[in-house]
Structure 1
Amino acid sequence: MDKRKCVLYVAMSLDGYIADINGGVDWLNQVQGDGSDNGFCEFSQTVDTVIMGRKSYEQILTFGNWPYKDMDAYVFSQTLEKACENIKVVNRNAAEFLKDIRKNDGRDIWLLGGAELIDEFIKQNLIDEYIVSIIPTILGGGISLFKDNRPLTQLTLIKKETFGDIVQVTYIRTED
């Protein structure tokens, strides 16, 4: 059996931000794709596990119904003790956690965000595939997708698609 991939699937502004200066993502609703779901349905068929940080989890809760009911969901947090529904809280090393859940059969694992958790996964070289939708908006500030002083990570482009004005690129990590 092939290893379950850890896939970062995220949208960012043209200037590299995943949220505005206040942590908001309302600007994502202002963009015009091609009228479809911009590839999300196809992507969601490849994953059965979603992992996120506490801030992303709390923001998703404000959207209404939990959108990932059909997935195993994990929230990384040092402060959160309990999550709603069947969502599990993780307070341990990301590499050890990922190694453990990869032992289970299943589809790929979606790293949803946010920035702190993505940064930790990059530092530990845990992301196998990067799917980034580039939104034609310049925020001018906010929460950067990639933090400064990260280790060099070589990627290889394997796919590019457009959905109206949105460009989605897919990269795999180049093996050393």
Structure 2
Amino acid sequence: MTDPLAELLDERRIREVVLRYCRGVDRLDFDLVRSAYHPGGIDHHTGFDGTVDEYVEWVRPLLSGFTGTMHIVGNHLCELRGDQAVAETYGTAVHWGSPESDPRRNFISGFRYVDHMAERDGRWAIVERFAVREWTHSTVGAQLAPEGTGPRGSRDADDPYYVLARRIQER
């Protein structure tokens, strides 16, 4: 008989793997991206198939070519099978960069992450990922300048998240 509370906790831990990956990509924190995979994990992206280490080296210069990205995840369905799981996560990825007239630097895409997850040594992580691109739309001419001063995200240790995390850690 399965323990519903244990299953709920496993599902939450699996969703956190997906969220950690998204934060890593958006903040250019490639150690965080790598932590979402088990060693030797496999990734299948548009234009790429290989190990997590190869993926990080492939995606690093691509992401650095954007001013920013934002991955927003929605529907998440996880089918647990003991210490293995299949997780499907729907999302939208926003990309922006220069020149603003370049549709390859300014677009939104709809995707699904279809992940084989496994728990090893008490840690859930990706064994194999299929990053399925469902659609892409150009946002050329659609981006507006900020409406005023205020906090802005950055793709380094000065991002508000990392600043707060350090502050709390120092207490």
TM-score bracket, normalised by the shorter chain, equals: under 0.3
User: Using CA pairs below 8 Å that are at least 6 residues apart, which structure has the higher relative contact order?
Assistant: 1
> What is the TM-score when the length of structure 2 is the normalising length?
0.26
Flag the structure with higher helix content.
2
> What is the TM-score when the length of structure 1 is the normalising length?
0.25
Which one has the largest radius of gyration?
2
